Chain A
Amino acid sequence: MKMPMQALRNLPIGPKLTLVIMATCVSVLILTDVALFIFQSATARSQRIDEMSSLAQIAAHNSAAAAAFSDRDAAVQILSALETRDDVEGACLLLANGEHAVAFDRDHEHDAAGEGLVSQGRRDAKEDLLFASAVMLDGMQVGTLFLRADFARAQMALLKLYAKTWLLVLGVALLVALVLAKRLQPLITDPILRLAQFVRGVGEKGDYSVHAVVTGNDEIGALTDAFNKMLDQIRSRDGALLEARDRLEERVEERTRELEAIHRQLVEALRRGGMAEIASNVLHNVGNVLNSVNVSASVVSDNLKKSKTASLGKVAALMQQHEADLPTFFADDPRGKQLPAYVASLSDHLMAGQQAALSEMEQLQGNIDHIKEIVSMQQNYAKVSGLTEVVEISALVEDSLRMNLGALSRHGVELKREYEDVPMMEVEKHKILQILVNLIRNAKYACDETNEPDKRITVRIARHDKHIGISVIDNGVGIPAENLTRIFNHGFTTRESGHGFGLHSGALAAKEMGGFLEVHSAGPGCGATFTLGLPIPAAELTCAA
């Protein structure tokens, strides 16, 4: 049942409509005919019974004389007239003399006396009815008329007639219905098909500015109307969308401008922050160097304190005391005899002290120079951003290392340098320095966290096709893969005291310079490599080629 229904659903609307109409017609015709037939056959049966009763009465009346005079021939003659009727199976008259006049008996089952014809047993047969009518003459019964009727044949004939008529009517009705359906169906299907075609056209072309033609005021007309309204709505919505998009673009531009301004402010703030960081680094380094200065100063001071200068005074006083007889003193006095040797040792001692002080002072001088250098470097980098100058990359790297040198040696980190020859570059020094200082310090922290004795940072300068890469490679804790992507995000940090700003601002600064800052790590415990890429200027590229 489901499959035919599905097939019916998929049928085009025209044939479907025809099918529905035809099915309805046939159903109605069948129902009507069945009802009519049932009613008719019931009516016909009661009519037949009435009719047969009347017939029996008339025959009885007509055969009164025959019965009264016991005229068998006349009785047969009278009743034979009934033989023309299909539904009378047999007729018999019980005459006044007690004889039976059997006019006819179609079944030929009954004996001449008609006993079977009038036998009671036949009364029960459903379609075989026995009618008995008294033959009266002047108020006296002179005989009895028996008629046996068989309605089955008549009923069958009626049924056949009905079937034939019904088939004929069905055929004609179906033909008429088919013709009417074919003629009238376009009234319904045409507007639907037109609308469907129109909708398909709209869908394919995407043109919402057209309108379907409304053909009537029925539901299809309303549907077409509604569709047209929908098209209007789509059109107006499209317009609104376009407008909204334009406005959105404006707003995005505006917001971009705002963001750019904020970004500039942020960069400036970062630069200042970076400078402050460098300054603190500088102070730290200066502090470290001052430590050395202090040590040198104490050493010199201790040396001076331990100097045998006072002994020299004693020798001088002893010699002044024996000024008159110096030769005796030197020759005879036991003290005088030892004196030259003592003076010689004193002189050695003083010479050694002087040497030590001189060397210490030299170191002190170097330390002070270092401080001067650090301070002047800071002054160098504290200049206004955007200024570029041509520098040696390795020198720049060395500067950044120097700023962390104290911390690195303090934490026992071994430093390894792998410098390739790279050309001089015109760069914003302070930015690169800021990035490198940050990278080195991160590397130091990463090494620190391992608690392994073998801590190492490798700084590598390498020339690539289009850029120079400065890599800071540590053998520290490494970075889990999930953090690699967000390590440059603003606010991302793994350290408690970190602010998540360094790498973020470093990456931004690298980008500003046309370069990049990238990270590589095989995972936790495998160390990490941060590489700052700086583009090689076009001129250099051609030169190199």
Chain B
Amino acid sequence: MKRVFTSLIAALALSAQLASADPSLEYQVKAVCVLNAARFVSWPASAFADSDAPLVIGILGDNPFGSILQDAVQGATVRQRRIVVRRVGLAEAANCHIVFVSRPERDRLPAIFQTIGDSSVLTISEIDRFVENGGTVGLALEHGKIRFEVKQEAASRARLKIESQFLLLARSTK
């Protein structure tokens, strides 16, 4: 756990330099953000098969993280659950706990949300106006810093509980 914490800090320490164009650095930070965001969200018990079931993070569309996210979750836990990262298709999306929607999927968003429906899935994306289009958490780079947008309505439809501390960081919580 200590190692994770250290890696987190290491990743975040770099955030000040995000303004620069190094894409890998940006995704390192975003990977940590995804992981951290997961820690502020509670899934209903029904979302897991059993108490040992892992938390599944699905990447829908292209994987902008490369192996970064995979590395970041290596050995880490969220609420005592292992974390599994895999690329998923639209059909599998509803079975994930977190779905990261990559930028190219922008035009398929209505279909994606329709497929996911009311499933307890936390949707995260760096697509502009993601939350306005039905997503739960949007990531944006602003003045060299990662900013969150949270759509509570979407979260509650998915029976997800987002902790207030996290909401404090978010720009929009409507």
Contact = CB atoms under 8 A, between A and B. Distances in A.
A62 B15 contact: no
Interface string B23-64: 000000000010010011000000000000000000000000
B129 interface: no
Interface stretch (B4-12, B86-94, B101-109, B116-124): B4-12
B37 to A, nearest CB: 9
A69 interface: yes
Interface stretch (A5-13, A134-142, A249-257, A318-326): A134-142
Contact of B1 (A62, A97, A139): A139
Given A69-B146, A140-B1, A61 B13 contact: no
B166 A65 contact: yes
B9 A140 contact: no
A96 B9 contact: yes
Give the size range of B's interface with the partner. Answer: 20 to 34
B142 to A, nearest CB: 11
A407 interface: no
A77 B163 CA distance: 17
Interface string A448-492: 000000000000000000000000000000000000000000000
A138 B80 CA distance: 8
Contacts of A98: 9, 13
A97 B15 contact: yes
A78 B164 CA distance: 12
Given A65-B163, A71-B169, A140 B4 contact: yes
A69 B5 contact: no
Given A65-B169, A66-B165, A70-B15, A96 B8 contact: yes
A531 interface: no
* Interface-central residue, A66, A138, A140, A141, by most chain B CB under 10 Å: A138
Contacts of B127: none
Contacts of B13: 70, 97-98
A66 B170 CA distance: 10
A55 B1 CA distance: 27
A434 interface: no
A69 B163 contact: no
Given A96-B5, A98-B9, A139-B1, A68 B168 contact: no
Contact of B5 (A64, A74, A142): A142
Interface residues of A, number: 23
A69 to B, nearest CB: 6
A483 to B, nearest CB: 132
Contacts of B33: 69
* Interface-central residue, A64, A77, A141, by most chain B CB under 10 Å: A64
A65 B168 CA distance: 8
Nearest to A98: B9
B79 interface: yes
A505 interface: no
A448 B15 CA distance: 159
A78 B169 CA distance: 10
B9 A62 contact: no
Contacts of A78: 168
B84 interface: no
Nearest to B170: A65
Nearest to A68: B36
Given A98-B9, A140-B4, A142-B8, A63 B165 contact: yes
Interface in B135-174: 145-146, 163-166, 168-169
Interface in A133-190: 137-142
B78 interface: yes
Contacts of A71: 145, 169
A71 B168 CA distance: 10
A381 B77 CA distance: 167
A139 B168 CA distance: 20
B107 to A, nearest CB: 30
A91 to B, nearest CB: 15
Contacts of A137: 36, 39-40
Given A96-B9, A96-B12, A138-B39, A69 B169 contact: yes
Interface in A100-137: 137
Nearest to A71: B169
Contacts of B80: 139
Interface in A519-544: none
Contacts of B146: 69
Nearest to B163: A65
A243 B9 CA distance: 123
Contact of A65 (B1, B9, B12, B40): B40
A62 B165 contact: yes
Nearest to B165: A65
A141 B8 CA distance: 11
B9 A74 contact: no
A61 B165 CA distance: 8
Contacts of A70: 9, 12-13, 15
Given A69-B12, A70-B12, A97-B12, A141 B165 contact: no
A27 B49 CA distance: 75
Contacts of A65: 36, 40, 163, 165-166, 168-169
Contacts of B5: 96, 140-142
Contacts of A77: 168
Contacts of B165: 61-66
A335 to B, nearest CB: 212
A65 B146 CA distance: 13
B156 to A, nearest CB: 19
A79 to B, nearest CB: 11
B169 A66 contact: yes
A61 B166 CA distance: 11
A63 B4 CA distance: 20
20 contacts: A61-B165, A62-B164, A64-B165, A65-B165, A65-B168, A65-B169, A66-B165, A69-B36, A69-B146, A71-B169, A95-B12, A96-B8, A97-B12, A97-B13, A98-B9, A98-B13, A138-B39, A138-B78, A138-B79, A140-B1
Nearest 6 CB-CB pairings of A with B: A65-B165, A97-B12, A138-B39, A70-B12, A97-B13, A65-B166
Given A65-B169, A97-B9, A137-B40, 20 more contacts: A62-B164, A63-B165, A64-B163, A64-B165, A65-B165, A66-B165, A66-B168, A68-B39, A69-B36, A70-B13, A77-B168, A96-B8, A96-B12, A98-B9, A98-B13, A137-B36, A138-B79, A139-B1, A139-B80, A141-B5
